[in-house]
Structure 1
Amino acid sequence: MAQRRAILIWPLMLLLVLHTSYSFYVPGVAPIDFHRNHPVEIKAVKLTSSRTQLPYEYYSLPFCRPEKIEYKAENLGEVLRGDRIVNTPYDLHMNVEKKCEVLCDKPNKPVKFKVTESKLVVERIREEYYVHLIADNLPVATRLEFYPNHDDNDKKKEKEVQFEHGYRLGFIDNNKFYLHNHLSFIVYFHKEEIEKGQEPTYRVVRFEVVPQSVKYEDLKTDERGNCILPEAAGSLPQEIDPNKENDVLFTYSVHWEGSVIKWASRWDTYLTMSDVQIHWFSIVNSVVVVFFLSGILSMIIIRTLRKDIANYNREDDIEDTMEESGWKLVHGDVFRPPQYPMILSSLLGSGIQLFCMILIVIIVAMLGMLSPSSRGALMTTACFLFMFMGLFGGYFAGRLYRTLKGHRWRKGAFCTATLYPSIVFGLCFVLNCFIWGKHSSGAVPFPTMLALLCMWFGISLPLVYLGYYFGFRKQPYDNPVRTNQIPRQVPEQRWYMNKFVGILMAGILPFGAMFIELFFIFSDYRWWWRTFLVSGGSAFYVLVYAIFYFVNKLDIVEFIPSLLYFGYTTLMVLSFWLLTGTIGFYAAYMFIRKIYAAVKID
């Protein structure tokens, strides 16, 4: 009893730690109040591109730098995401307008791009990189306004507004490259209610930017040294020639605007940058289809089973010598241990580990403890939860391994703790070597890799052993029928009974695995591996769609970005296969135990 209590206390303690760690980041809990003229710091996060999938540090390009560069201490999730948050020389003060300010240390003097720097900037513009900045932990966004189904004769149509994360580094026009060297910041604030005689306080609720490209020669200065932006019609964009040195002057302006949006709702704009209605419609549609089809299959299965069970029990009462038929025929072989029981139980243990991790992450996110303001919190939580859920993965793997007549529990525990994680770590290490070669901020530093190894062998491995020990000591699953000493001869199967065909069939309707299992039992009692592989068949279609999306939707043409895409896709497909295969296996196992327990067998 005490052992059970100890096992149950672990997840409760973990949830308490997660709540303590991340409750600070929940929107509306700990807002920052600014008074007029108080500094509002602008920080840079990284450069990203959907074409290359490789993030880079902000100062990997020759932007203006402050006197002292200070990097924020990142958590594990931020490091794995490639975030490198650093200070910038932008000087913003609450509710203080700035028409045009020169950014760099040398006023009115341009930054001279060397040829190598010019080529690098041009390459990043060609690869469609975005720059990501934050103010008061809010990411910068670019406003996009357009008229849907534009018609010049219809002047009453309202503009539709959308936002995109960050701002474009530059653009291409007539095979020439232009850099956005002037940023017009628009910061929205909410004025808080105060008592008489007190100084008003403000809270930042939105951070927008309008990027512009202005040629250095067109920028003028006034008597105080402030820059004067030319009229849009009379200015030329800042071209970057990759074959020579370029003079660039970085400037910015700041406009403050009051807003009725409160602090607790300031993330709504960022969370609705995609079409949420279509997304929810897709989810509801998928749920309805799955429940409808699974309901029909369940009705068919229940009616068939009730009829078979009634016939079997009636025949047993009438004549015991009647020859068995149907799925009752293989009752003496259906629970025969499969080949490689250690590997099967290890994979299922890893599937349980993933299932528990995903379940708790969803619950924690629903409770509001993984808000978007906490960068990297989701990935950090997932990593730690996977380590701690090794206790449950080891327990289920150990008990199943004993049920399958296994006796080398120490080796089985080691296999459970290392099989799936070693595949993930090995593939990530290989991909990381390529990312290192590109000098991307997405490369995991060597100390972080050591920390992950220490977490693996210091947290996950001992917990898997502990769970495996208790699971192996636990009474094995009680099968309702005995297993014969001599296995029944299985006739040669038709082509559509092949396990690979079954994977393709089950993948179309993942929740139809139980129906297919009943069909398989009629002619083949070797269902242990088959149910695990077939139930994960939907992962094959995930892989096929990922390939289709890569070919038809993405513009990735370089080798390393393509390698990263397929490498991470492989990890996603493998994890999805483990997760769905584990769910399908235990569903089929409980289903088979249930139906054979309902039949009278001597």
Structure 2
Amino acid sequence: MRPAVRSVSFLAFVALLVVSPARASESDHKYQLDDPVTLWVNKVGPYNNPQETYNYYSLPFCHPSGNAAHKWGGLGEVLGGNELIDSQLDIKFQKNVDRNPYCELELDEVKVNQFKDAIESSYWLEFFMDDLPLWGYVGEVHLDKNSDNEKYMLYTHKNITIKFNKDRIIQVHLNHESPKPLEVGRTLDMTYSVKWIPTDITFARRFNVYLDYPFFEHQIHWFSIFNSFMMVIFLTGLVSMILMRTLRNDYAKYAREDDDLETLERDVGEESGWKLVHGDVFRPPRNLVVLSAVVGTGAQLALLVLIVILVAIVGMLYIGRGAIVTTFIVCYAFTSFISGYVSGGMYSSNGGKNWIKSMVFTASLFPFTCFGIGFILNTIAIFYGSLAAIPFGTMVVVFVIWAFISFPLALLGTVVGRNWSGAPNNPCRVKTIPRPIPEKKWYLTPSIVSMMGGLLPFGSIFIEMYFVFTSFWNYKVYYVYGFMLLVFLILIIVTVCVTIVGAYFLLNAENYHWQWTSFFSAASTAAYVYLYSIYYYYVKTKMTGFFQTSFYFGYTLMFCLGLGILCGAVGYLGSNLFIRRIYRNIKCD
């Protein structure tokens, strides 16, 4: 029934695409006395496996009579695995309800086994009322003292407490009570009660109860920001020292106009390091199409992350279900111009001829990579019958966004980039015959420089990764986007500084293959994040099963691919500016 219903809702997805998922039928969140208030049932699943969620009625709870209403909140909500169904409980604004039965649950062997499996796996359930979540457990296990056997108990009563301020609901709380043993042939009375309590809490602060202030604003979080800031000061000082002390002496030789012939010959004889490769340093890199695509995509992702963080700070996106996902997808589509512009300009300035191939690769590289990973995860979710499975209609919507917004903007950006910044403007002329690269010590090879380049950027975001992972995998609402903005800016600065130092050392070793080395030196940050995610999985979580493991490492892989492309592009662009700057002031011919 679920795929059919969602396919019918295809047009609704398109219409609600840019609407905040938190706004649906209760858009104004205002009620009059005795107005009906809907309790929406959403999903159930093992508590230790956040992504392994199923339809609430996948367990044999009492089904609502007739065709229960469904609530669709937008693209991000569907991608987040939410499916809200009207519970049809009779709840009215400011009207208390004593213990009131709403159905009788007849237990047979199949139902008992389903509930026992759910209770054994610590199944939790999620409801929504006025866009506020309520959580609870399906049941509990009691130990029979006489026989030492475990007794599985199902909660049969929902005690709902609602706090209100004038005409608005402020807080909701759910207590599951009256555990009854699961026995074949037994009939259980399922009941609920509602209690309304006035409060002085304002509507603007009603979501604060879900925010874990002691966790996110812990002293270690502030310390990590300070520690990363000190790292920025150190690295910017190091790069400044290279520019002001090391390069200044080299420039002084080329600036002297009154040297005699003997001094000039001695300076030429002493010339070494980065100055010797001026005829090769601007040679087009290998696989120019791929490098242009990843640099363009990384520049787009950097701008995208900045925009989403700023929107999250201003708009408090953590309040809405799927709001972050919706914002990310829409902003990604509209920032595709940047990827085309950067990629097209870089490809043309390095002598690339097949710009259409470069443009198509740039526009499809990251989306189709994520689609490939998502297709595998979606197949697993469909096999398990999980809500995490993305409906076909939603896939079509995402493809339409890419085909009719993202792709044309990438094409436009490529055309503009070729015309505005695609002309070759290298400070030094590239020689016809490549200069042989001498053998150097192992720690000056591109592979070692690339591996070591990601350590300091990873160190600058290490603590923040813990908070991000915990919020995503352990039911915490991430709301400190101001911290994230600071960490993101620190990451950009540290990445640029580290990559510049690495490129300078590589050029001093007379190795002019700096382009890919700069990219991988910065992108290796993502490799360390992925290694950290393996540690986090085994030490900080209690996830089990093939479903959750595949989703954990699949989602983390998508995240790390995006992070790697972002950091790699920032590192390359920073190194490119640095190298053009230092070669601009020397005599290249």
Where on the TM-score scale, by shorter chain, does this alignment land: which range? 0.7 to 0.9
1:125 is aligned to 2:119: yes
* C-alpha deviation, 1:30, in angstroms: 6.4
SS at match of 1:537: helix
Residue pairs, 1:67-86, within 5 angstroms: 67-68=65-66, 69-86=68-85
Residue pairs, 1:61-460, within 5 angstroms: 61-68=59-66, 69-104=68-103, 110-140=104-134, 166-174=135-143, 175-191=150-166, 202-212=167-177, 214=178, 237-240=179-182, 244-272=184-212, 275-278=215-218, 281-316=219-254, 317=256, 318=259, 319-321=263-265, 322-323=268-269, 324-368=271-315, 370-460=316-406
* C-alpha deviation, 1:582, in angstroms: 1.1
CA contact (8 A) 1:25 1:371 kept: no
Higher helix residue share: 2
In the aligned structure 2, how far is the partner of 1:19 from the partner of 1:287? Answer: 35
Partner deviation per Cα, 1:137-185 (whole Å, 9 max, x = no partner): 1112xxxxxxxxxxxxxxxxxxxxxxxxx11222233443222221111
Are residues 457 and 246 of structure 1, via their aligned partners in 2, closer, same or farther at CA, if it must alter by over 3 Å?
farther
Q: Which residue does 1:33 correspond to in 2? A: 30
The aligned amino acid for 1:516 is G
* C-alpha deviation, 1:55, in angstroms: 1.5
Q: Which residue does 1:546 correspond to in 2? A: 533
CA contact (8 A) 2:450 2:522 kept: yes
CA contact (8 A) 1:506 1:538 kept: yes
The aligned amino acid for 2:505 is F
Q: 1:505 aligns with which of 445, 448, 452?
A: 452
Q: Which residue does 1:155 correspond to in 2? A: none
Q: 1:522 aligns with which of 500, 508, 514?
A: 508
1:474 is aligned to 2:420: yes
CA contact (8 A) 1:297 1:515 kept: no
* C-alpha deviation, 1:23, in angstroms: 11
The aligned amino acid for 1:45 is N
In the aligned structure 1, how far is the partner of 2:350 from the partner of 2:186? Answer: 71
Q: Which residue does 1:55 correspond to in 2? A: 53
SS at match of 2:140: strand
- Greater displacement, 383-392 / 398-407: 383-392
CA contact (8 A) 1:74 1:84 kept: no
The aligned amino acid for 1:209 is L
* C-alpha deviation, 1:24, in angstroms: 8.8
CA contact (8 A) 1:181 1:249 kept: yes
1:596 is aligned to 2:542: no
* C-alpha deviation, 1:542, in angstroms: 1.0
In the aligned structure 2, how far is the partner of 1:538 from the partner of 1:181? Answer: 50
* C-alpha deviation, 1:411, in angstroms: 0.8
TM-score (norm 2): 0.82
Are residues 527 and 568 of structure 1, via their aligned partners in 2, closer, same or farther at CA, if it must alter by over 3 Å?
same
* C-alpha deviation, 1:283, in angstroms: 4.2
* C-alpha deviation, 1:282, in angstroms: 4.2
Aligned length in residues? 516
In the aligned structure 2, how far is the partner of 1:424 from the partner of 1:515? Answer: 32
Are residues 245 and 410 of structure 1, via their aligned partners in 2, closer, same or farther at CA, if it must alter by over 3 Å?
farther
Partner deviation per Cα, 1:288-331 (whole Å, 9 max, x = no partner): 22221232222233223223333223323234432322322222
* C-alpha deviation, 1:514, in angstroms: 2.3
Structure 1 residue runs of 5 or longer lacking an equivalent are 1-16, 105-109, 141-165, 192-201, 215-236
In the aligned structure 2, how far is the partner of 1:547 from the partner of 1:20? Answer: 35
In the aligned structure 2, how far is the partner of 1:327 from the partner of 1:118? Answer: 75
CA contact (8 A) 2:297 2:366 kept: yes
CA contact (8 A) 1:84 1:441 kept: yes
In the aligned structure 1, how far is the partner of 2:252 from the partner of 2:399? Answer: 60
The aligned amino acid for 1:390 is S
SS at match of 2:89: strand
Are residues 32 and 294 of structure 1, via their aligned partners in 2, closer, same or farther at CA, if it must alter by over 3 Å?
closer
Partner deviation per Cα, 1:426-484 (whole Å, 9 max, x = no partner): 11011101100111111001121122222222222222122112212224363222222
SS at match of 1:536: helix
In the aligned structure 1, how far is the partner of 2:568 from the partner of 2:341? Answer: 18
Aligned residues: percent identity? 31
SS at match of 1:481: coil
SS at match of 1:89: coil
Are residues 83 and 23 of structure 1, via their aligned partners in 2, closer, same or farther at CA, if it must alter by over 3 Å?
closer
In the aligned structure 1, how far is the partner of 2:418 from the partner of 2:56? Answer: 52
In the aligned structure 2, how far is the partner of 1:79 from the partner of 1:382? Answer: 14
SS at match of 1:514: helix
CA contact (8 A) 1:118 1:246 kept: no
The aligned amino acid for 1:168 is Y
- Greater displacement, 263-272 / 433-442: 263-272
* C-alpha deviation, 1:374, in angstroms: 2.8
* C-alpha deviation, 1:373, in angstroms: 4.1
* C-alpha deviation, 1:408, in angstroms: 0.3
In the aligned structure 2, how far is the partner of 1:276 from the partner of 1:473? Answer: 47
* C-alpha deviation, 1:332, in angstroms: 1.7
* C-alpha deviation, 1:526, in angstroms: 0.4
The aligned amino acid for 1:112 is E
CA contact (8 A) 1:64 1:89 kept: no
Structure 2 residue runs of 5 or longer lacking an equivalent are 1-14, 144-149, 458-493
In the aligned structure 1, how far is the partner of 2:408 from the partner of 2:185? Answer: 58
Are residues 556 and 184 of structure 1, via their aligned partners in 2, closer, same or farther at CA, if it must alter by over 3 Å?
same
TM-score (norm 1): 0.81
The aligned amino acid for 2:119 is I
* C-alpha deviation, 1:245, in angstroms: 4.9
* C-alpha deviation, 1:529, in angstroms: 0.6
The aligned amino acid for 1:269 is V
Q: Which residue does 1:8 correspond to in 2? A: none
Q: Which residue does 1:149 correspond to in 2? A: none
SS at match of 1:39: coil
Partner deviation per Cα, 1:241-274 (whole Å, 9 max, x = no partner): 5xx4553321111111111101111111112376
CA contact (8 A) 1:189 1:206 kept: yes
CA contact (8 A) 1:394 1:471 kept: yes
SS at match of 2:283: coil
SS at match of 2:87: strand
Are residues 176 and 504 of structure 1, via their aligned partners in 2, closer, same or farther at CA, if it must alter by over 3 Å?
farther
In the aligned structure 1, how far is the partner of 2:190 from the partner of 2:582? Answer: 74
* C-alpha deviation, 1:354, in angstroms: 1.5
Partner deviation per Cα, 1:487-518 (whole Å, 9 max, x = no partner): 11111243323444334322220223322222
In the aligned structure 2, how far is the partner of 1:210 from the partner of 1:488? Answer: 75
Are residues 261 and 581 of structure 1, via their aligned partners in 2, closer, same or farther at CA, if it must alter by over 3 Å?
same
Are residues 469 and 18 of structure 1, via their aligned partners in 2, closer, same or farther at CA, if it must alter by over 3 Å?
farther
CA contact (8 A) 2:272 2:508 kept: no
CA contact (8 A) 2:160 2:194 kept: yes
